[in-house]
């Protein structure tokens, strides 16, 4: 199974002093400072595990450069740190490894504490065109409006904040769309991994008229944030897999996940039954154009991806180049033969990128949207969990390489032939620019 679970070291040392100005809450159940020798022990332990377990550790950073970087991390430990500071240091390895299935997260004790008592920035945000915008305000201050731009947080410009967070994000190869996608969905958590949990947030905002103003809001627990969200933003009905008939010739098939267990538990859907039913409907309706929406689908198991491909491929196509999960997929007798348009974005990761790569290899689809977050040539997966002996920081380290396509690759995913990235105006208006682009392509042909 394949499940989803530039560097400024001098800034890291500066960050500790800067955060003190805003006051911190307890960051873990332990709230413990670790001496230098324990931190260095953990770092050496992590290095040994990575070198022993990971099958492609030097895929994007050659070993000499990787060793130099690891040594720089080791030498930067010159004083005691708490768990959050040390996590902020070691997550700089993410970009060097370039494997979206290998990651480092807080200890289980800290995670449990944060879920119940941790305090976070009570805003949902989106990074668009180099600017950070507010999409949901879950703070008591209702005067903060959707669509306002955050210029700075606690005196730190957003360009610096995003640079720090992006430098520590997981990714496949050199991809940038997946790190942005993660931050757009989980900004507050990853902000706390680097900047801690200040009791107050001082925000410099730019309103829709271009005017600057300042706000101070309190950090809130996850339960409080969830309550404000429920009050202000009614839940939108969602389906894991959904088929929408647009007109007599065009339908849209949306697949949110290739994880059958998740689809069954969250959406009460049986994957194969729903897929069979969808393609039977397409056949019955004589659908000529299918828009397959794989955006925000972070993957799941191999078999559901292969099952979908058997309905879509025109020619026999190899799914993975070698290994026990490799297959030569034969198109079904009743496979879909119409025109196929696939919507992709940075959240199209792991098995979704594999499916996209197979469709691209078969020259089967027209891709619309953004580069997939997952690599189209080679990935690693089947991660095993480790725990650092002193801080108990958790690591998930890939154990297996999956070759998707032959060749060295370029460290990127599947690129769309027709890029379609929403600006803030489209987001605020709820305009789906990728779907609109696909429908326009259909109308033009």
State whether residue 69 is helix, strand or coil: helix
What CATH number corresponds to the domain at position 310? 3.90.226.10
CATH code assigned at 168: 2.30.42.10
The last residue of a domain, from among 187, 204, 232? 232
- Is there a single domain that holds both residue 206 and residue 301? no
**pLDDT attached to residue 37:** 98
Q: How far apart are CA 251 and CA 289, in angstroms?
A: 7
- Contact at 8 Å (CB) between 275 and 241? yes
Contacts of 288 (CB under 8 A, 6+ apart): 249, 250, 338, 339
Report the alpha-carbon distance of residue 178 to residue 165 in Å, rounded: 13
- Together in a domain, 193 and 301: no
Same-domain pairing of 320 and 427: yes
The Cα 434–Cα 417 span in angstroms is: 12
DSSP summary character for residue 234: P
Residues 150 and 259 in one domain: no
Distance between first and last Cα of the chain: 39
Residues 303 and 434 in one domain: yes
Q: DSSP assignment, residue 31?
A: -
Number of domains into which the chain is organized: 2
Query: 175, 196, 201, 227: which is closest to 371 by C-alpha?
Result: 175
> Rg (Cα) of the chain, in Å, rounded?
23
Query: Residue length, the chain?
Result: 445
219 shares its domain with 253: no
Whether 388 is covered by a domain: the verdict is no
Is 391 part of a structural domain of the chain? no
Q: Name the token pair of 169.
A: 């994000």
Within the chain, how many helices (H) and strands (E) appear?
Answer: 15, 21
User: What pLDDT, on a 0 to 100 scale, did the predictor assign at position 15?
Assistant: 41
Dihedral sign, Cα of residue 160, residue 163, residue 166, residue 168: negative
- For residues 405 and 326, give the distance between their C-alpha atoms in angstroms, rounded to a whole number: 11
Which of 232, 258, 280 marks a domain boundary? Answer: 232
Q: Is residue 204 part of a domain?
A: yes
Residues 215 and 345 in one domain: no
Residues 266 and 368 in one domain: yes
Q: Are residues 222 and 253 in the same domain?
A: no
| Structural domain contains residue 401 | no
Domain around 179: 9-232
Element containing residue 221 per DSSP (H, E): none
**Based on the domain organization, do 158 and 303 belong to the same domain?**
no
pLDDT (0 to 100) of residue 236: 84
Encoding tokens for residue 241?
A: 């897999």
What pTM does this model have?
0.93
Neighbours of 193 (CB within 10 A): 20
Separation between Cα atoms, residue 229 and residue 233, nearest integer Å: 5
pLDDT per residue rounded down to tens, the chain (445 residues): 455 433 333 333 334 344 444 455 544 556 799 999 999 999 999 999 999 999 999 999 999 999 999 999 999 999 999 999 999 999 999 999 999 999 999 999 999 999 999 999 999 999 999 999 999 999 999 999 999 999 999 999 999 999 999 999 999 999 999 999 999 999 999 999 999 999 999 999 999 999 999 999 999 999 999 999 999 998 888 899 999 999 999 999 999 999 999 999 999 999 999 999 999 999 999 999 999 999 999 999 999 999 999 999 999 999 999 999 999 999 999 999 999 999 999 999 999 999 999 999 999 999 999 999 999 999 999 999 999 999 999 999 999 999 999 988 999 999 999 999 999 999 999 999 999 999 999 999 7
| Segment (H or E) for 252 | strand 250-255
> What burial letters (b/e) apply to 336-367, b meaning 16+ CB within 10 Å?
beebbbbbbbbbbbbbbbbbbbbbbbbebbbb
- Which of 89, 9, 111, 5 shows the shortest CA–CA distance to 42? 89
Q: Which of 397, 407, 416 is nearest to 353 (CA)?
A: 416
Same domain, 314 and 206: no
Q: Write down the pLDDT at residue 14.
A: 39
Tell me, yes or no, whether 55 and 126 share the same domain. Answer: yes
- Rounded to 5 degrees, what are φ and ψ at 167? -65, -20
Has residue 402 been placed in a domain? no
């Amino acid at each position: 199974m394949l499940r989803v679970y530039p560097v400024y070291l001098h800034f890291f040392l500066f960050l500790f002093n800067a955060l003190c100005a805003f006051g911190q809450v307890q960051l873990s159940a332990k709230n413990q400072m670790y001496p230098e020798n324990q931190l260095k022990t953990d770092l050496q332990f992590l290095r040994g595990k990575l070198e022993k377990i990971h099958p492609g550790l030097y895929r994007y950073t050659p070993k000499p450069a990787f060793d130099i970087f690891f040594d720089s991390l080791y030498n930067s430990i010159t004083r005691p740190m708490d768990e959050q500071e040390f996590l902020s240091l070691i997550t700089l390895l993410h970009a060097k490894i370039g494997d979206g299935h290998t990651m480092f997260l807080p200890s289980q004790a800290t995670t449990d504490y944060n879920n119940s008592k941790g305090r976070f920035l009570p805003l949902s945000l989106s990074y668009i065109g180099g600017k950070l915008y507010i999409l949901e305000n879950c703070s008591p201050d209702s005067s903060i409006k959707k669509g306002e731009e955050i210029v700075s947080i606690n005196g730190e410009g957003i360009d610096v904040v995003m640079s720090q967070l992006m430098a520590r994000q997981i990714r496949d190869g050199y991809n940038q769309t997946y790190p942005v996608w993660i931050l757009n969905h989980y900004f507050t958590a990853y902000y706390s991994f680097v900047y801690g949990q200040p009791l107050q947030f001082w925000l410099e905002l730019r309103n829709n008229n271009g005017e600057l103003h300042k706000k101070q809001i309190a950090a809130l627990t996850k339960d409080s944030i969830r309550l404000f969200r429920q009050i202000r933003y009614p839940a939108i009905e969602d389906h894991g897999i959904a088929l929408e008939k647009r007109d007599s010739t065009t339908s849209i098939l949306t697949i949110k996940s290739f994880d059958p267990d998740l689809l069954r538990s969250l959406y009460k859907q049986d994957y194969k039954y729903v897929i069979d039913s969808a393609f039977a409907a397409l056949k019955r309706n004589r659908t000529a154009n299918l828009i397959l929406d794989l955006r925000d689908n972070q993957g799941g198991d191999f078999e559901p991806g292969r099952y979908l491909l058997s309905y879509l491929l025109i020619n026999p196509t190899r799914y993975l180049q070698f290994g026990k999960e490799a297959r030569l997929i034969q198109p079904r007798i009743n496979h879909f033969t119409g025109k196929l348009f696939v919507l992709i974005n940075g959240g199209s990761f792991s098995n979704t990128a594999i499916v996209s790569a197979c469709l691209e290899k078969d020259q089967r689809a027209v891709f619309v949207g953004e580069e997939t977050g997952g690599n189209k040539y080679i990935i690693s997966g089947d991660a095993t969990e480790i725990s650092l002996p002193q801080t108990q920081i958790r690591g998930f380290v890939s154990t297996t390489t999956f070759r998707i396509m032959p060749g060295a690759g370029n460290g990127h995913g599947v690129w769309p032939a027709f890029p379609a990235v929403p600006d803030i105006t489209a987001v605020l208006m709820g305009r789906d620019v990728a779907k609109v682009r696909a429908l326009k392509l259909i109308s033009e042909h």
